[in-house]
């Protein structure tokens, strides 16, 4: 056989023939169809001549070779790897996403490319030695995705705003208002010489005003419907497009044949309210993003050094020139200059490369890097762009969520809904043909008009958007709307102990062992300064001596065990008894053991103070969930916890981070839906493995892309209410589905009986959209009153 037209492979089997071309499998054939349908056949020209740029765009992007200009556009550049985000207005369907997320096949220097479909952006990570910003811009342009590059926008770091929706909505609003005014006389059958004489003029004026509404304002619904049908998908836009088309055709026929005034008012109103819903949905999510980033206390804080004193501040309060302390495993929240310390930065959140990058004093540090070798100090050179950290949190690399049931439910309902409406219209048409043939056309078109499922399309986005906003106000920050649904399915809740149900602020500490000299205490505190573990932070605050100015020569933190370091030629190990290989007399206590120069000194014993409301939270949750304590500590406090917590609570102690992950995996294999609540540090693997992972945040930088939500520690007692609201939100959405179907049933009565007049349609259709939005907004606000 000849080689596959798409991939060039020769698998030795009989080729699949399509469009006079040979394909080795159905997968290659499908990709070809997608590219062909999207008019992206130039992909194959690039495959045949990789790196070849059409002559008409050569030289267009020469200015990107200027390092100063390129630096303004790049989000990240460490000399080896760079990241750029291009705004591409021509992104419009799943085919575009497929092509743009496979740019690495066209340019070997590109490592990853991720599309943000709602914002029409593509985020490209590339190797500086293998390609350049100019080459990537030329590549995108050559395959039909020319990036919009504005250096003015680059200077101000503003996102480009697509105002198409505003223009579409404005035209629909203008036409809707004016058509309604022109339709009033015919609504109420007002007689008059002048009205009768000029009614044809009014009708054709309405026609002229509705044309841009159909062909411009509503074009996205038609495009989406056509794309869906090409891929054999009956999405929600198919019945919407069908309703708009029938409204327009029937109304045009009526005024051409002088049968009536048509339904131009309902048509303009339908498109207006659909676009209004889309506009408010867009504004809701933009506002929500703003709230999550700036307005509320976002649970990412950082340690600021002021006159030698350390002070925890919210990231949003960072200012240019501030001096920050970044501990081991903490994320760098802003761009800055390294002042001192051993910087080994993991930029995998940004570039996907997990190999730490070493930096020297005076080097520039980029936001998003995670320090992996002790504590460092840095000076801030740019103020925070919190949306960037949110973007990291939402990165697909850390998103392994399952299919969205509500979205699938909406699409499934839409599919069967469309089929049902077509069948009803067909049967009604046949029935009326035998009853009264002159009414058949009116009834069939009336069924298709009144059944437009615009209310169905608006219910879920508004419900999810509003509840996310409410949760954000109460310092419970969710990664996305799917997390709400995933929480509603949970049947097992697993809690970490230290830093999760215990409070670091109220821990009681006492020392047991050989007294430490002042110099030894300073050395211990200096090492603890680099660690971000809750026990380390508590002990660091407890020791009153000031740490050394110099940093540890060597520092290593082993998650779940302890830390070891060398400072002033002294070797220190701090952590569990097993980590130090010593026998402990405090087996049933939480403790940090200390070894200096291979000599055991003693241990600091922690008497944990549990968070306010812990008992009440567990008692409420025990009514509906299986509760488990999964801790890396020993079982010293098990007797106390057995008295404090409900009897059915299960306990697992002495669990390493990998043990926690394995434990959760074993529960999931039994069919359980697991929610894990941890401190975001040792529990990163467990949080990622669970169906929903929630990180508890106090006043430290515990940002974790592995989690699905972050909860302010002071809101811990509201956990049962958050879980209950998540379940109720799903019920609200399902109730709104029922509500929208009731509208369709009422409208169907008027349609099937031939009583659908312009005035009835003008009332029913807008009313259904408005009432659904009001319904879900009021209900979600009402159910959240307990917060």
pLDDT in tens, 650-681: 999 888 888 888 999 999 999 999 999 987 65
pLDDT interval class at 215 (50, 70, 90): very high
The pLDDT score that the predictor gives to residue 420 is 80
Cβ contacts of 113 within 8 Å, gap of 6 or more: 100, 101, 102, 103, 104, 122, 123, 124, 125
3-state DSSP helix/strand/coil % of the chain, to nearest 5: 50, 20, 30
Q: Does residue 379 contact residue 322 with C-beta atoms inside 8 Å?
A: yes
Cα–Cα distance, 374 to 376 (Å, whole number): 7
Mean pLDDT value of segment 63-68: 80
pLDDT at 386 over 50: no
**Of the candidate ranges 89-103, 106-120, 496-510, 611-625, the one whose mean pLDDT is the lowest:** 89-103
From residue 206, how far is each of 94, 210, 267, 449 by CA, in Å?
Answer: 36, 6, 11, 18
Residue with tokens 């690495």: 104
Burial of 478 (0-12, 13-18, 19+ CB in 10 A): buried
The pLDDT score that the predictor gives to residue 560 is 72
The pLDDT score that the predictor gives to residue 756 is 72
Sign of the dihedral through C-alpha 335, 526, 581, 609: negative
For residues 780 and 770, the model is more confident at 780
Structure tokens at 519: 């110099």
pTM for the whole thing? 0.62
Instruction: Give the CB-side neighbour count of residue 210, counting CA atoms within 13 A.
Output: 27
pLDDT in tens, 496-537: 887 788 876 667 788 988 899 999 999 999 898 888 777 888
pLDDT in tens, 230-271: 766 666 677 778 878 888 888 888 888 887 777 788 788 878
Cβ contacts of 239 within 8 Å, gap of 6 or more: 414, 417, 418, 421, 451, 452, 453
pLDDT in tens, 105-155: 888 899 888 887 667 888 898 998 899 998 898 888 877 788 887 654 444
Structure tokens at 154: 């680059």
Percentage of the chain with pLDDT > 90? 13
Percentage of the chain with pLDDT > 70? 75
The pLDDT score that the predictor gives to residue 619 is 93
From residue 622, how far is each of 557, 617, 646, 683, 694 by CA, in Å?
Answer: 36, 9, 7, 23, 18
pLDDT at 550 over 80: no
Mean pLDDT value of segment 545-567: 83
Mean pLDDT value of segment 677-695: 81
The pLDDT score that the predictor gives to residue 291 is 38
* Residue ranges of domains in the chain, CATH in brackets: 1-37 (no CATH), 45-156 (3.30.70.100), 319-383 (2.70.150.10), 474-500+610-723 (3.40.50.1000), 502-609 (3.40.1110.10)
pLDDT interval class at 568 (50, 70, 90): confident
pLDDT interval class at 174 (50, 70, 90): very high
Mean pLDDT value of segment 177-190: 73
pLDDT at 570 over 50: yes
Say whether 608 sits in a helix, a strand or coil: strand
Sign of the dihedral through C-alpha 431, 437, 439, 440: positive
Q: Does residue 752 contact residue 425 with C-beta atoms inside 8 Å?
A: no
pLDDT interval class at 47 (50, 70, 90): very low
The pLDDT score that the predictor gives to residue 296 is 33
> Mean pLDDT across the chain, nearest whole number?
78
Angle at which helix 454-473 crosses helix 719-752, to 10 degrees, equals 160
Mean pLDDT value of segment 754-774: 71
Say whether 30 sits in a helix, a strand or coil: helix
Q: Does residue 696 contact residue 500 with C-beta atoms inside 8 Å?
A: yes
Burial of 653 (0-12, 13-18, 19+ CB in 10 A): middle
**Of the candidate ranges 5-9, 598-602, 622-626, 688-692, the one whose mean pLDDT is the lowest:** 5-9
Mean pLDDT value of segment 688-707: 73
Structure tokens at 650: 């299960």
The pLDDT score that the predictor gives to residue 669 is 92
pLDDT interval class at 290 (50, 70, 90): very low
Strand order of the β-sheet with 357-359 is 357-359, 343-346, 370-371
The pLDDT score that the predictor gives to residue 727 is 92
Burial of 252 (0-12, 13-18, 19+ CB in 10 A): middle
| CB burial readout 580-612, b (16+ within 10 A) else e | beeebebeebbbbbbbbeeebbbbbbbebebbe
The pLDDT score that the predictor gives to residue 32 is 67
pLDDT interval class at 40 (50, 70, 90): low
For residues 359 and 533, the model is more confident at 359
């Amino acid at each position: 056989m000849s080689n596959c037209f798409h991939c060039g492979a020769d698998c030795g089997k009989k080729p699949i023939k399509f469009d006079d071309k040979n394909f080795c499998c159905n997968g290659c054939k499908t990709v070809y169809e997608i590219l062909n349908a999207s008019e992206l056949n130039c992909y194959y020209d690039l495959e045949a001549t990789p790196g070849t740029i059409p002559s008409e765009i050569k030289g267009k992007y020469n200015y990107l070779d200027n390092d100063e200009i390129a630096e303004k556009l790049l989000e990240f550049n460490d000399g080896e790897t760079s990241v750029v985000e291009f705004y591409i207005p021509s992104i419009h369907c799943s085919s575009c996403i497929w092509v743009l997320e496979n740019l690495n096949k066209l340019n070997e220097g590109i490592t990853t490319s991720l599309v943000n479909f709602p914002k029409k952006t593509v985020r490209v990570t590339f190797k500086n030695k293998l390609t350049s910003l100019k080459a990537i811009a030329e590549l995108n342009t050559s395959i039909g995705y020319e990036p919009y590059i504005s250096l003015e926008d680059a200077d101000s770091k503003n996102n480009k705003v697509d105002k198409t929706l505003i223009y579409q909505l404005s035209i629909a609003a203008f036409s809707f208002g004016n058509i309604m005014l022109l339709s009033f006389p015919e609504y109420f059958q007002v007689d008059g010489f002048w009205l009768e004489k000029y009614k044809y003029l009014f009708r054709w004026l309405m026609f002229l005003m509705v044309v841009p509404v159909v062909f411009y304002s509503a074009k996205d619904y038609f495009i989406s419907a056509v794309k869906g049908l090409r891929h054999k998908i009956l999405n929600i836009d198919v019945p919407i497009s069908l309703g708009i088309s029938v409204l327009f055709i029937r109304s045009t026929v009526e005024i051409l044949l002088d049968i009536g005034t048509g339904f131009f008012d309902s048509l303009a109103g339908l498109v207006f309210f659909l676009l209004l819903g889309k506009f408010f949905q867009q504004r809701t999510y933009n506002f929500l993003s703003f709230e999550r980033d700036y307005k509320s206390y976002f649970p990412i804080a950082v340690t600021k050094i002021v006159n030698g004193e350390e002070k925890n501040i919210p990231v949003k309060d960072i200012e240019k020139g501030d001096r920050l302390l970044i501990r081991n495993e903490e994320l760098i929240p802003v761009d800055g200059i390294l002042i001192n310390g051993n910087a080994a930065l993991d930029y995998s959140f940004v570039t996907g490369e997990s190999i730490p990058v070493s930096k020297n004093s005076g080097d520039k540090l980029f936001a998003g890097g995670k320090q992996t070798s002790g504590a460092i100090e840095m000076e801030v050179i740019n103020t925070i762009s919190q949306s960037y950290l949110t973007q990291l949190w939402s990165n697909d690399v850390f998103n392994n969520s399952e299919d969205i049931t509500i979205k699938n439910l909406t699409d499934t309902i839409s599919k069967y809904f469309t089929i049902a409406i077509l069948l009803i219209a067909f049967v009604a048409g046949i029935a009326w043909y035998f009853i009264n043939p002159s009414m058949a056309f009116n009834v069939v078109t009336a069924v298709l008009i009144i059944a437009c499922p615009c209310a169905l399309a608006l219910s879920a986005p508004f419900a999810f958007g509003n509840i996310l906003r409410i949760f954000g106000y109460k310092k419970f920050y969710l990664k996305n709307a799917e997390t709400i649904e995933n929480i509603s399915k949970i049947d097992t809740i697993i809690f970490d102990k230290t830093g999760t149900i215990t409070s670091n602020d109220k821990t009681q500490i006492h020392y047991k062992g050989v007294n430490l000299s002042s110099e030894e205490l300073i050395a211990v505190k200096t090492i603890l300064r680099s660690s971000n573990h809750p026990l380390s932070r508590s002990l660091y605050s407890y020791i009153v001596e000031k740490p050394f100015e110099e940093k540890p020569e060597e520092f290593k933190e082993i998650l779940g065990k302890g830390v070891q370091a060398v400072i002033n030629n002294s070797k220190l190990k701090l952590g569990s008894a097993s980590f130090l290989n010593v026998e402990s007399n405090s087996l049933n206590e939480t403790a940090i053991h200390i070894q200096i120069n291979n000599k055991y000194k003693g241990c600091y014993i922690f008497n944990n103070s549990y968070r306010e409301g812990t008992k009440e939270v567990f008692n409420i949750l025990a009514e509906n969930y299986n509760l488990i304590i999964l801790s890396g500590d020993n079982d010293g406090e098990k007797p106390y916890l057995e008295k404090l917590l409900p009897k059915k609570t299960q306990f697992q102690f002495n669990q390493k981070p990998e043990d926690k992950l394995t434990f959760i995996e074993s529960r999931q294999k039994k069919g359980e839906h697991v929610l894990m609540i941890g401190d975001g540090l040792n529990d990163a693997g467990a949080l990622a493995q669970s169906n929903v992972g929630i990180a508890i945040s106090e006043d430290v930088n515990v940002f974790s892309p592995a989690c699905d939500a972050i909860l302010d520690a002071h809101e811990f007692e509201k956990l049962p209410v958050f879980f209950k609201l998540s379940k109720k939100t799903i019920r609200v959405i399902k109730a709104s589905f029922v509500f929208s179907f009731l509208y369709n049933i009422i409208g169907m009565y008027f349609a099937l009986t031939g009583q659908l007049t312009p005035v009835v349609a003008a009332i029913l259709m807008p009313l259904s959209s408005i009432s659904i939005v009001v319904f879900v907004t009021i209900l979600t606000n009402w159910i959240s009153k307990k917060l």
